[in-house]
Amino acid sequence: MSQKWVETSVGLFILAAILGMLLLAFKVSDLSLYGEHDTYTVFAKFDNIGDLKPRAPVTIAGVKIGQVVSINLDKALYKATVTMRIKARDNNIPTDSSANIVTAGLLGSNYIAITPGFETAFMQDKGVISETNSAILLEDMIGQLIFNSKKGDKDDEKV
């Protein structure tokens, strides 16, 4: 077993490990090379965030433009302050846009959908989205449905 073969196979071993690492980084975890300096922060206050969690996507028209960084309670207003990091490339969000918490599919996780407004001024770093809609809780909706259908039955009886 010559020294050359030993060194070559160690080199191949390290190359294989680097290849594995690259696959894990780019194919498995979809590491983007955007650092924090390529993003800007936007806040929004919600009455109820439902099941929203940090790292949830932020979308416009279904396209992911950023993600939720942290969720805190605003002690003065009893509202949830959601901090979002948006890609610097998508810097043309009108200031009167509204943020909604929606659910992916029937049982999917929650994410934030931003509906653009009509203002010509755009959201800056540390800007606040003032118009928000809370998460729609499935339980509340089912409750409402049952309540409405019962009312409908009673109306039928009267007639």
Partner 1 sequence: MMTAIQKLGRSSIQLCGNVGYAGLFLIKTLVRKPRPIKGAPLLIQELYSIGVFSLPIILVASIFIGMVVGLQGYNILSKFSATEQLGQLVALSVVRELGPVVAALLFAGRAGSALTAEIGLMKTTEQLASMEMMGVDPLWRVIAPRFWAGVISLPLLTMIFCAVAVIGGHVIGVEWLGIDTGAFWSNMQASVDFHLDVLNGIIKSVVFGFIVTWIAVYQGYATEPTAAGISRATTRTVVYSSLAVLGMDFVLTAIMMGGW
CA distance 125 to 115: 18
Considering the rule CB under 8 A, would residue 21 count as an interface residue with partner 1? Answer: yes
Is 7 an interacting residue with respect to partner 1 (CB under 8 A)?
A: yes
Residues between 39 and 58 with contacts to partner 1, criterion CB under 8 A: 55, 57
- Alpha helices, DSSP H only, in the chain? 3-22, 138-158
Please select the residue that binds partner 1; options are 4, 28, 75, 76, rule is CB under 8 A. 28
Neighbours of 67 (CB within 10 A): 18
* Coil, strand or helix at 132: strand
Position 73 contacts partner 1 (CB under 8 A)? no
* Beta carbon nearer to partner 1, 18 or 137: 18
14 near partner 1, rule: CB under 8 A: yes
User: Closest approach of Cβ 76 to partner 1, in Å?
Assistant: 27
Amino acid at residue number 21: M
CA distance 59 to 52: 14
Does 9 engage in binding with partner 1 (CB under 8 A)?
A: yes
Task: Choose between 106 and 159: whose C-beta lies nearer to partner 1.
Answer: 106
3-state helix, strand, coil in the chain (%, to 5): 30, 35, 35
Single-letter residue type at 107: L
Among 2, 29, 120, 149, binds partner 1 (CB under 8 A): 29
Decide whether 13 or 147 has the Cβ nearer to partner 1.
13
Closest Cα partner for 103 from 72, 130, 133? 133
Residues that bind partner 1 (CB under 8 A): 3, 6-7, 9-10, 12-14, 16-21, 23-25, 27-31, 55, 57
